[in-house]
Structure 1
Amino acid sequence: MDKKTALLVIDTQIGIIDGPKAGPVHKAAALVSTIRSLIEQARTRSVPVLYVQDVDVAPLDALEFQIHPELAPLAGEVVVVKKATDAFVHTNLHDVLQTMEINHLVIVGCKTEYCIDSAVRRATTLGYDVTLVRDGHSTTDSEALQAEQIVAHHNACLHGLYNIDNFVIVRDSGETVFEPIHDTYR
């Protein structure tokens, strides 16, 4: 089956990446650089770039709510505002992706154990193959684990996660992540 890919950039808001309340995330500068590079690659390849913003980060008019300026969407790129951890709950994200005929998502953003995990898992149950970029998501330390451990754990447990017809592959940003390799494993 032919795959049509989109880059889904989740919760790369100033208040999460830089803080002060919800961040800064682990290796924030490297994360921004990685995601910025992937956004540029996607745009060059005419791969749609879609953004998700979480209302829990800060009031809508606050600087912390805004998408990080180095990752900001271009005019015409889709921005979905969500209230739940799951980017698909009570949003039009799935409808927008279906209208665009997307069936493969490359996912990056914040925070690993919450919004990234939820989006990755839910996407597979909605019929999308997912490429999670190993070095394209981050979080902060929790009471139980350091951020680096959380990211490593999720990269390990999400790689190969299979939901009937669709699954997750974790790949490094230096790989050709916009070219899905899922069908080679079916």
Structure 2
Amino acid sequence: MTTLANRPNSALLVIDVQVKVVADAHDRDAVVAHIAAAVEKARAAGVPVVWIQHNDDNMPKESEGWEYVPELVRAESESLVHKSYGDSFEATELESVLAAGGVGRLVVAGAATDQCIRSTLHGALTRGYDVTLVGDAHTTSDLSKYGAPPPDQVIAHTNLYWQYQTAPGRTGGTVSTADLDFTAPEPA
């Protein structure tokens, strides 16, 4: 149902699963395994995987913490988008990468739930994309000392509200890794 004309294709966005970002993330190993499974499902279905990699003063390019976790390996043919803001579209070439592939539906996984995942979900929906969040393939660190809920509650809340997210001509949604099926036809 995307509002983007002539954009019938899907893509998987893998956002910021970098050493420093997920070093102390909630349920890190299980989430990374779910992301790896989502990547394999996308590849098997011929769906493009777009890797998003954050950098800023606290995590400069080429630093050890900036690198993607070793469990996830980007294929040479897969796009890599560098960003410096929470929303993966902001001041990046992501839109042009997706437009070139005729992509109007995004499936999102990665980190951090309460920052770059939420910003990208909302940014994509606002820009006209249908956006599905892989509910067990995103994580965040414990920021409760700053007043945030515990990470399991941040993740659960994000999954809950995104499950029902809509906008004119666009839909959100949440799916588990086990139920993720890139070969299924889009609902009418």
Report if TM-score (shorter chain) is over 0.5. Answer: yes
| Structure 2, unpaired ranges of 5+ | 2-6
One of 10, 13, 17 as aligned partner of 1:12 = 17
Report sequence identity in percent: 33
Distance 1:3 1:161 in 2: 20
Contact persistence 2:81–2:94 (CA under 8 A):
yes
Counterpart secondary structure, 1:7? strand
Contact persistence 1:54–1:82 (CA under 8 A):
yes
Q: How much has 1:17 moved relative to structure 2?
A: 1.6
TM-score by length of 1: 0.90
Following TM superposition, the consecutive aligned residue runs of length 4 or more in structure 1 with deviations greater than 6 angstroms are none
CA 1:135 to 1:68, structure 2 compared with 1: closer, same or farther past 3 Å?
same
Alignment of 1:25 with 2:25, yes or no, is: yes
Contact persistence 2:125–2:167 (CA under 8 A):
yes
Hey, what does 2:177 align to over in structure 1? 173
Distance 1:181 1:151 in 2: 27
Counterpart secondary structure, 1:71? coil
TM-score by length of 2: 0.89
Figure out how many residues of one structure are paired with residues of the other and give that number: 179
| Aligned counterparts, 1:106-185, within 5 A | 106-143=107-144, 144-179=148-183, 183-184=187-188
Greater relative contact order structure (CA < 8 Å, 6+ sep): 2
Q: CA RMSD in A?
A: 1.7
Counterpart secondary structure, 2:180? coil
| Aligned counterparts, 1:24-43, within 5 A | 24-43=24-43
Q: Per-residue displacement from partner, 1:91-114 (whole Å, max 9, x unpaired)?
A: 010111011000111100000011
Q: What is the one-letter code of the residue matched to 2:129?
A: Y
Distance 1:14 1:118 in 2: 20
| Structure 1, unpaired ranges of 5+ | 19-23
